[in-house]
Amino acid sequence: MRIGVDFDNTIAGYDRLFEALASESGLLAPCALATGAIRGKTAVRDAVRLLPDGENHWQRLQALAYGPRISGAELLPGVAAFFRRCRDADLPVVVVSHKTQFARGGDGVTDLRRCALAFLRQHKFFDMSKAGLGLAEEQVFFEPTRREKVARIRELGCTHFIDDLPEVFAHEDFPPDVERLLLAPLPPTLEATGDALVRRFVDWRGIMGYVFGHVFPHP
């Protein structure tokens, strides 16, 4: 058994960071963010894209969030507990992310993959002590396309994969024998998931309960 885990919006959460960046850049009115009229990454994206030259503005925000400002992202609640539980149970875990090395709209120098590794290091994923999460850097994989991400999941022999994007699970090459665990507060659309069987969880607490209560019961 081997658990695969996505990185962006599955381990690292960006909602508050995108709100802050949109406010700092002057793209969105602080009052709209403060009152909750615009809340979270998706709402910020949709609002910014409506602006003149909106797509370029959005790409620049992404380049900042996934690059030099990634330390301001949040470790999603329950992630650390899940990885620690896997470590204690000797359950192999790998991180497989669709992430290019450099961002469109970025400076062409900042390495997004190094930034992601720095985020994992910041949150003690690579700390092998009891206080850390016990993940080796060699267990983290970045792929430039979704197709290559899916191929890596197959190559690594994952039995389960956790992702926030139903499109990954609906990919034509996604291994049919890998169980799909979707982290999503809202039900995915039928078009996004296709005919694949996807188990949806609203948070990591639910994922942990399923994995260690049904899939891998462990004292």
Q: Where are the domains of the chain?
A: 3-13+73-215, 15-72
What is the dihedral angle through the alpha carbons of 18, 59, 46, 42, rounded to the nearest 10 degrees?
-40
pLDDT tens digits, 68-104: 999 999 999 999 999 999 999 999 999 999 999 999 8
Q: Give the confidence band of 214 by pLDDT, cuts at 50, 70, 90.
A: confident
Residue 186 CA to chain centroid, in angstroms?
16
pLDDT at residue number 9:
96
Rounded to an integer, the average pLDDT of 19-26 is: 90
Instruction: Give the integer Cα–Cα distance in Å for 40 and 32.
Output: 12
pLDDT tens digits, 148-182: 999 999 999 999 999 999 999 999 999 999 999 99
Strands of 160-163's sheet in order across: 140-143, 93-98, 3-5, 160-163, 179-183, 198-201
Residue 118: pLDDT over 80: yes
What angle in degrees, to the nearest 10, is found between the helix axes of 15-24 and 41-49? 40
On the CB side of 92, CA atoms within 13 Å amount to 11
pLDDT tens digits, 27-59: 887 666 666 667 789 889 999 998 899 999 999
Q: State whether CATH 3.40.50.1000 applies to domain 3-13+73-215.
A: yes
Residue with tokens 């659309």: 189
The more confident residue out of 189 and 18 is 18
Instruction: Give the integer Cα–Cα distance in Å for 27 and 52.
Output: 10
